[in-house]
């Protein structure tokens, strides 16, 4: 019963950790998508109004460039800055002679940790479930320490009494042979009955 409870506790802790990780990463991804969409919407509105150089509300998440068929160029303000393309994925769409390019930031472990730092509920749940799991594993390790082997077999007292009676009967066999043999049979039969 104890092992079942420990197993169930471990399963629940792992489930909480997994669910917290999935929900927090989903929230992080959703926040990134909202930032990219906010940037695209801001860029579209400003480009429609004829502004060639557009300041984005979340410049870390995307870079945008648009070239129209009449040769006009619209770019986001962060497009002029150097950026590492390994941290970005891009989408290029061409319609006729017009072309739009959007670079959007890939999720990184560093950004995810920063997100967790800004959302203490998710960070707390992840850390708490990790500590609980480690505590459970330490408890299981402490409970399952190997016990030293015993040199003597644990034998119940009735069995020992019957063996002593058998030894006494063997010792008296020289004095009263027939009765001793009958007593030995009785003791052996009772031992055999109990062992079944």
∠ CA 126-129-131, rounded to 5°: 110
Report yes or no: 133 and 14 within 8 Å, Cβ to Cβ.
yes
Q: Coil, strand, or helix at residue 95?
A: strand
Report yes or no: 20 and 126 within 8 Å, Cβ to Cβ.
yes
Report yes or no: 54 and 66 within 8 Å, Cβ to Cβ.
no
pLDDT tens-place string over residues 44-97 = 999 889 888 999 999 889 999 999 888 889 989 888 778 788 888 989 998 888
Give the residue extent of every domain in the chain: 2-141, 157-195
pLDDT tens-place string over residues 8-51 = 888 888 888 888 889 999 999 999 999 999 999 999 999 889 88
The rounded distance, in Å, linking the Cα atoms of 163 and 153 is: 15
pTM for the whole structure: 0.62
- The beta strand positions in the chain, using DSSP E, are 53-54, 62-67, 73-76, 88-95, 98-105
């Amino acid at each position: 019963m104890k092992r079942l409870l420990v197993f169930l506790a471990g399963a629940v802790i792992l489930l909480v950790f997994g669910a917290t990780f999935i929900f927090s990463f989903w929230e992080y991804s959703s926040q990134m998508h909202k930032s990219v969409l906010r940037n695209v919407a801001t860029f579209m509105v400003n480009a429609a109004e004829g502004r060639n150089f557009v300041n984005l509300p979340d410049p870390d998440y995307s870079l945008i460039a648009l070239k129209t068929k009449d040769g006009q160029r619209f770019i986001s303000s962060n497009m002029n800055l150097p950026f590492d393309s390994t941290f970005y994925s891009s989408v290029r769409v061409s319609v006729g002679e017009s072309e739009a390019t959007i670079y959007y930031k890939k999720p990184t472990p560093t950004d995810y940790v920063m997100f967790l730092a800004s959302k203490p509920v998710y960070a707390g749940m992840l850390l708490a479930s990790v500590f609980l799991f480690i505590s459970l594993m330490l408890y299981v390790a402490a409970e399952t320490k190997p016990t030293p082997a015993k040199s003597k077999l644990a034998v119940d007292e009735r069995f020992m009494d019957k063996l002593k009676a058998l030894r006494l009967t063997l010792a008296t066999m020289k004095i009263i042979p027939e009765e001793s043999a009958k007593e030995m049979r009785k003791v052996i039969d009772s031992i055999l009955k109990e062992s079944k």
